[in-house]
Amino acid sequence: MNVDGWKQFAAEAAAGLVRDEMLVGLGSGTTVAHVIRALSRLGSGATFVPSSSTSQRLASKLGLRLESLSAHKKLDLMLDGADEVDPNFNLIKGRGGAHTREKIVASASRRVVIVVDRTKLVRRLGEQMPVPVEVLPFAREYTIARLEKLGGKPKLRQTSAGTPFVTDNGNYIVDIEFGSIQRPTKLEREINRIPGVIENGLFVGVADAVLVGHEDGCAKLRSKRDFLKFMRA
Ligand code: 5RP
């Protein structure tokens, strides 16, 4: 079995958390796409709030009932993927460039469950992935120069055609390599203080639980203890 199969194990466990009466936020990415397919297979009667155009298209095509966030103040649950998860359930997100809306939907949700395969678990954030930052195209050069002063290596994300990647919000993404991040709470705040930054992909204190797909199924991590035990096994 390959990593995609591990994602499917976690996605099926995530879909099993959804009840018909719930209002559920959906993140983005390949793992969330598996969650959407699993929900459709189950014939879920819940209502979903997608946080990206890609998830919206897939969920709509597969017949899930969709509403927008503007119709609701509170959601019951958010199901989302991540690029890195640390033992405190802090995250790096945004490989798909959808982290701004994902952070908003997560913040509107009573419970946030992160769905990943085991390759996403890290001791410290930044070990494997850069931190994506959504920036206003108008302020690109200025914002990148300010981001550089935080100590990382910022790089404008580009498409395969060599043009800047554009988010659902019409903005650019700057990926910043920091290496191992010692104080994610402070860094999240510092990045967002820079004019021209819309939102960054550090999600600190957002996730309540993590579903981790692996060779033999899915582990449900509810605490740091669960995380460390899983890493040791
Ligand atoms: C998109 C995200 C995704 O959830 C994250 O990149 C994980 O993606 P995948 O499930 O494809 O590995 O944050 O903005």
Same domain, 17 and 65: yes
Contacts of 61 (CB under 8 A, 6+ apart): none
By annotation, the residues acting in catalysis are 102
Same domain, 188 and 214: no
Furthest CA-CA distance within the chain: 50
Same domain, 46 and 96: yes
Tokens of residue 172, six digits? 């650019």
Same domain, 119 and 13: yes
Look up the domain containing 65 and give its range.
3-123+204-232
Checking if the pLDDT of 1 tops 80, the result is no
Same domain, 40 and 155: no
Contacts of 6 (CB under 8 A, 6+ apart): 117, 118, 213, 214, 215
Q: Determine the pLDDT at residue 20.
A: 98
Quote the mean pLDDT of the chain. 97
Checking if the pLDDT of 230 tops 90, the result is yes
Q: Which CATH number is 58's domain given? A: 3.40.50.1360
From the CB of 81, is ligand 1 less than 6 Å away?
yes
Q: Let me know: does 190 contact 178? Beta carbons within 8 Å.
A: no
CA distances to 42, 45, 79, 188, 219 from 19, rounded to whole Å, are: 11, 8, 13, 33, 20
Average pLDDT over residues 153-177: 98
Separation CA 177–CA 190 (nearest Å) = 15
pTM exceeding 0.95: yes
Same domain, 64 and 52: yes
Average pLDDT over residues 89-113: 98
Same domain, 111 and 226: yes
Same domain, 102 and 193: no
Same domain, 35 and 80: yes
Same domain, 212 and 166: no
From the CB of 184, is ligand 1 less than 6 Å away?
no
Same domain, 137 and 89: no
Checking if the pLDDT of 13 tops 90, the result is yes
Average pLDDT over residues 103-114: 98
From the CB of 27, is ligand 1 less than 6 Å away?
yes
**Hey, whose CA ends up nearest to atom 6 of ligand 1?**
95
Tokens of residue 23, six digits? 């209002």
Ligand 1: distance of its center to the CA of 68 in Å?
20
What element of type H or E holds 213?
strand 209-214
Q: Please state the atom number of ligand 1 nearest to the C-alpha of residue 33.
A: 10
From the CB of 122, is ligand 1 less than 6 Å away?
no
Average pLDDT over residues 143-169: 97
From the CB of 78, is ligand 1 less than 6 Å away?
no
> What total number of domains does the chain contain?
2
Ligand 1: distance of its center to the CA of 117 in Å?
11
- Residue among 31, 36, 91, 101 to mutate when testing ligand 1 (max atoms within 8 A of CB): 31
Ligand 1: distance of its center to the CA of 186 in Å?
23
Checking if the pLDDT of 97 tops 90, the result is yes
Same domain, 85 and 179: no
From the CB of 52, is ligand 1 less than 6 Å away?
no
Q: Which CATH number is 138's domain given? A: 3.30.70.260
